[in-house]
């Protein structure tokens, strides 16, 4: 039996998405900026995909296609600070942001911004009251993720955004993990910038999108041609964009069903691991339905995950982009996992195609792997 339980790292490509993409890797290879009718027809498909992604995000703003969720985050953060006056030099980010945000914030810090981390609770949630205390007229940008990629903690983006706006700052939310399991409703949340990525919603890798609200500035990070309305130079990844559009369209139809299914799987998994001694769950009740983070005392996560993969269960320690490190992640540190549990932190993330049988199997194999690893 093989159970893929690493959907927070990436999701399998939906066969319907692949089918939609294939013509654009074959006979419809035209550059969407060219003038003849075949190329204009490709342009029309790119624009249709843009509308579908915008519809899924649910706002009146604009979509800029990028090369990844990471690039979207960089574009959003740099856009947000691009027009700030010299008095707004503070940037507030949560302590558990993905490295996309932390890395970009770090580069802004080297350019003279003061970056401060907002503390989180034991699951990774930022308290709006905490943000209120730290806001000030010198803050240009607040960036807090919608759902955390390691614990599944969910933030109240609308409340956080309101506080940022009351202080005259822009608000960005990294919704890369949230997009597949929650209705983003950009208009209601009020965010100025939202970052998303196709490969977390059964779309292709290498394509992301940044949502910018109607009056938000957009500062191109990648310079060159006039593609994406001048916001992101470079010939479009047409097949990727078409795939993103198709994946967004499918998700728009089945998001609630997916979330319900994932919630049930999560319950079964949590019940299945309940009897394993000295294991704590780092994912909050009511968090993202696809993510379960657990920490087992006296266990090296890497060894345990290796045993699991030999048994056919594929899971990870946390963020996939950090998997070369066996040290506990910044998220594990920030949520305060007790010392004896830290190194035994593992993330299981389920998807649309997983079954109850899959998660029961994963839970049983986790119990065995933990016992053997101790
Ligand atoms: N933000 C979060 C919360 C993520 O989980 C990820 C990917 O794991 C990213 C950003 C980066 O997205 P991408 O892999 O498309 O660069």
Amino acid 320: pLDDT: 62
Amino acid 77: pLDDT: 98
Query: For residues 184 and 48, what is the distance between their CA atoms, to the nearest angstrom?
Result: 20
Question: For 267, phi and psi rounded to 5 degrees?
Answer: -60, -45
Query: For residues 113 and 106, what is the distance between their CA atoms, to the nearest angstrom?
Result: 9
CA angle (261, 124, 290) in 5-degree steps: 15
Amino acid 15: pLDDT: 98
Amino acid 150: pLDDT: 98
Question: For 92, phi and psi rounded to 5 degrees?
Answer: -110, 125
Question: What atom of ligand 1 comes closest to residue 68's alpha carbon?
Answer: 15
User: Are 95 and 119 in contact, with CB atoms under 8 Å apart?
Assistant: yes
Joined together, the tokens standing for residue 331 give 């998220």
Straight-line distance from the first to the last Cα atom of the chain, in angstroms, rounded to the nearest whole number: 24
User: Are 118 and 130 in contact, with CB atoms under 8 Å apart?
Assistant: yes
CA atoms within 13 A on the CB side of 22: 7
Q: What residues contact residue 107 under an 8 Å CB cut-off, 6+ apart?
A: none
Closest CA to 63 of 195, 247, 211: 211
Question: For 337, phi and psi rounded to 5 degrees?
Answer: -60, 130
- Active site residues per annotation: 321
Query: For residues 54 and 48, what is the distance between their CA atoms, to the nearest angstrom?
Result: 10
Amino acid 321: pLDDT: 59
Pocket test for ligand 1, best of 13, 53, 65, 69 (most atoms within 8 A of CB): 69
Amino acid 28: pLDDT: 98
Beta-carbon neighbour count of residue 12 at 10 Å?
13
Amino acid 324: pLDDT: 63
Amino acid 208: pLDDT: 98
Pocket test for ligand 1, best of 197, 203, 240, 288 (most atoms within 8 A of CB): 197
Amino acid 327: pLDDT: 86
pLDDT, averaged per 10 consecutive residues of the chain (374 residues), comes to: 97 98 98 98 98 96 98 98 91 98 98 97 98 97 98 98 97 98 94 98 98 97 97 98 99 98 98 98 97 97 97 89 75 97 97 98 98 94
**Residue of the CA atom closest to atom 6 of ligand 1:** 176
Whether residue 69 has its Cβ less than 6 Å from ligand 1: yes
Question: What atom of ligand 1 comes closest to residue 148's alpha carbon?
Answer: 3
Closest CA to 143 of 183, 179, 176: 176
Q: Which domains does the chain have, with CATH numbers?
A: 3-11+255-373 (3.90.1150.10), 15-250 (3.40.640.10)
Residue with tokens 């007790």: 338
Closest CA to 341 of 373, 299, 307: 299
User: Are 2 and 314 in contact, with CB atoms under 8 Å apart?
Assistant: yes
Query: For residues 291 and 305, what is the distance between their CA atoms, to the nearest angstrom?
Result: 16
Whether residue 316 has its Cβ less than 6 Å from ligand 1: no
Q: pTM of the entire structure?
A: 0.97
Beta-carbon neighbour count of residue 325 at 10 Å?
12
Question: For 30, phi and psi rounded to 5 degrees?
Answer: -60, 150
**Residue of the CA atom closest to atom 5 of ligand 1:** 149
Amino acid 323: pLDDT: 58
Whether residue 146 has its Cβ less than 6 Å from ligand 1: no
State the distance from the centre of ligand 1 to the C-alpha of 366, rounded, in angstroms.
26
Closest CA to 127 of 98, 153, 88: 153
Question: What atom of ligand 1 comes closest to residue 319's alpha carbon?
Answer: 8
Work out whether strand 3-4 and strand 170-174 pair parallel, antiparallel, or are unpaired: unpaired
User: Are 62 and 211 in contact, with CB atoms under 8 Å apart?
Assistant: yes
Pocket test for ligand 1, best of 67, 102, 105, 149 (most atoms within 8 A of CB): 149
């Amino acid at each position: 039996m093989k159970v893929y339980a690493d959907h927070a790292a990436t999701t399998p490509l939906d066969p319907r998405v692949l089918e939609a993409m294939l013509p654009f890797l074959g006979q419809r290879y035209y550059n969407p900026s060219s003038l003849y009718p075949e190329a204009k027809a490709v342009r029309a498909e790119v624009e249709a995909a843009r509308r579908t992604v915008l519809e899924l995000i649910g706002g009146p703003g604009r979509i800029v296609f990028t090369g990844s969720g990471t690039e979207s985050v960089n574009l959003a953060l740099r856009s947000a600070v691009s027009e700030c006056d010299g008095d707004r030099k503070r940037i507030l980010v949560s302590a558990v942001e993905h490295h996309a945000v932390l890395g970009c914030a770090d580069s802004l810090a080297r350019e003279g911004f003061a970056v401060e981390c907002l503390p989180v609770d034991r699951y990774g949630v930022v308290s709006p009251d905490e943000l209120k205390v730290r806001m000030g007229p010198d803050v240009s940008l607040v960036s807090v993720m919608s759902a955390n990629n390691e614990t599944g903690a969910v933030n109240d983006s609308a409340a956080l955004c309101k506080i940022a706006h009351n202080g005259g700052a822009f608000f960005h939310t990294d919704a890369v993990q949230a997009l597949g399991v929650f209705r983003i409703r950009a208009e209601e949340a009020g965010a100025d910038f939202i970052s998303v990525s196709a490969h977390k919603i059964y779309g292709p890798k290498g394509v992301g999108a940044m949502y910018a609200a109607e009056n938000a500035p957009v500062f191109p990070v990648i310079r060159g041609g006039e593609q994406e309305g001048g916001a992101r130079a470079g010939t479009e990844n047409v097949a990727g964009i078409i795939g993103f559009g198709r994946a967004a369209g499918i998700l728009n139809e089945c998001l609630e069903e997916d979330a319900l299914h994932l919630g049930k799987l999560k319950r079964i998994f949590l019940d299945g691991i309940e009897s394993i001694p000295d294991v704590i769950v780092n994912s909050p009740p009511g968090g993202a339905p696809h993510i379960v983070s657990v920490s087992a005392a006296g266990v090296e996560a890497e060894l345990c995950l290796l045993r699991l993969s030999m048994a056919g269960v594929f899971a990870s320690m946390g963020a996939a982009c950090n998997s070369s490190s066996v040290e506990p992640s910044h998220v594990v540190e920030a949520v305060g996992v007790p010392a004896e549990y830290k190194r035994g932190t593992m993330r299981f993330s389920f998807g649309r195609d997983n079954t109850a049988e899959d998660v029961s199997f994963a839970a049983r194999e986790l119990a065995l792997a933990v016992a053997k690893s101790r």
